[in-house]
Structure 1
Amino acid sequence: MSDERTTPRAGEGDILAELEAEVAHELEEHRPPAGGPAYQVVAALVTLAIGLVGAVLAQGYGLGSLERPGPGLWPMVVSVVIVVLSLTLLLVGRGLRDSERFSRASVLPLVGVATFIALAFLIPTLGFEIPAFLLCVVWLRFLGGESWRSTLAVSLGTVAAFYALFLYGLRIPLPHLF
């Protein structure tokens, strides 16, 4: 006895194949043109520079120790990971062929990095809360295209969660207003 839910009816296989072909065609139409190995190398160099700048900025905040971590410890860890991954891509990237050409959309990650740099410079003067909230708003609303309602709700929730995590859970002495 066959199960009606798993056995395709007459003609259903053709419809599924047509839908799959249509989806594949749509994805191919909206995909940016292929780049080459040079695009991999350029991307690796850009992210390497970002990681190195992040490490320098994190050092300026103070790393502390593992028992008493400073505000720059986690940014340093993330920066080191970025540097290691960038160096790996730089070494391996010359042989990869799956990169995409740079386009207007390629600027969006740079805007994201610029907001992180702004966050690093604003935290010592304004505290953690306002720059972190602005970062969330820029990322969600302007880079992610979310609605204002969800942007504000998620931004407030994110800042509150990180505030509690860093100041009370991890006891990291971030500059803060409250």
Structure 2
Amino acid sequence: MSASPPAPAPARHPRSARSELRRLAPLLLLALGVGAVLVGRDMGLGELTAPGPGLWPTIVAGLLIATSVVLLFLDPAEDYEPWTAGTARIVAGLAGLALFIVLFQTIGFVVSAFLLLFAWLRFLGGESWRMALVLAVAGAIVLHLVFVVVLGVPFPAGPVDQLLGG
């Protein structure tokens, strides 16, 4: 009996630009974590017996940084999902959330919550204009009642917030 020669090992392809683009997500998470640590530090860490407002965000940001480093160096980029049109929707949702934070500080909670809910429902969720409008109004009012009235969370008051007694 003759032994057949072993099959050659499959050739490894050099990393393509598309594969490297998949590394963008952990890099963005790393940048977000570093930024959050800096913001948390500026808010004041306090001490373990008397924590400041920035302690918890800094701890979470540290975990985000650690996770990002693990993803960058230990997780193969080939395991990541490719960037698609669905990815753009996720980025748009996160951009809307960032805009919500800016608007929240300038025009108050109710209006910014309404705008975020409406945009997400209509443009990301595909709801009809009428349904998105109704759900966004109801959602903003319910969120105001839960956080401001029931839980007593102090938010910056905008014009609508003042009308609702917040």
In the superposition, the TM-score normalised over structure 2's length comes to: 0.61
- Name the structure 2 match of 1:43: 25
- Name the structure 2 match of 1:115: 96
- Name the structure 2 match of 1:105: 86
Q: Partners of 2:64 and 2:148 in 1: how far apart?
A: 25
Going from structure 1 to structure 2, the CA distance change for 1:41 and 1:156 (only over 3 Å counts) comes to same
Instruction: Say what the alpha-carbon RMSD is for the aligned residues.
Output: 3.8
Contact 2:27 2:72 in 1 (8 A): yes
- Name the structure 1 match of 2:12: none
Shift of 1:135: 0.8
Shift of 1:150: 2.6
Stretches of structure 2 lacking an aligned partner (at least 5 in a row): 1-17
Stretches of structure 1 lacking an aligned partner (at least 5 in a row): 1-34
Going from structure 1 to structure 2, the CA distance change for 1:144 and 1:170 (only over 3 Å counts) comes to same
Deviation per CA, 1:58-97: give whole Å up to 9, x if none.
7778899xx9x97x898x389636545434433442x353
Q: How does 1:47-126 map to 2 (within 5 A)?
A: 47-53=29-35, 76=57, 80=61, 82-93=64-75, 95=76, 97-126=78-107
Q: Partners of 2:104 and 2:144 in 1: how far apart?
A: 13
Q: Partners of 1:111 and 1:127 in 2: how far apart?
A: 22
- Name the structure 2 match of 1:134: 115
Going from structure 1 to structure 2, the CA distance change for 1:154 and 1:105 (only over 3 Å counts) comes to same
Q: Which amino acid aligns with 2:68?
A: S
Q: Partners of 1:152 and 1:78 in 2: how far apart?
A: 38
Q: Partners of 1:96 and 1:61 in 2: how far apart?
A: 35
- Name the structure 1 match of 2:126: 145
Going from structure 1 to structure 2, the CA distance change for 1:168 and 1:63 (only over 3 Å counts) comes to farther
Of 119, 133, 146, 1:165 maps to 146
- Name the structure 2 match of 1:154: 135
Q: Partners of 2:60 and 2:130 in 1: how far apart?
A: 32
Contact 1:39 1:99 in 2 (8 A): no
Q: Partners of 2:98 and 2:81 in 1: how far apart?
A: 26
In the superposition, the TM-score normalised over structure 1's length comes to: 0.58
Shift of 1:164: 2.0
Larger relative contact order, structure 1 or 2 (CA cutoff 8 Å, min sep 6): 1
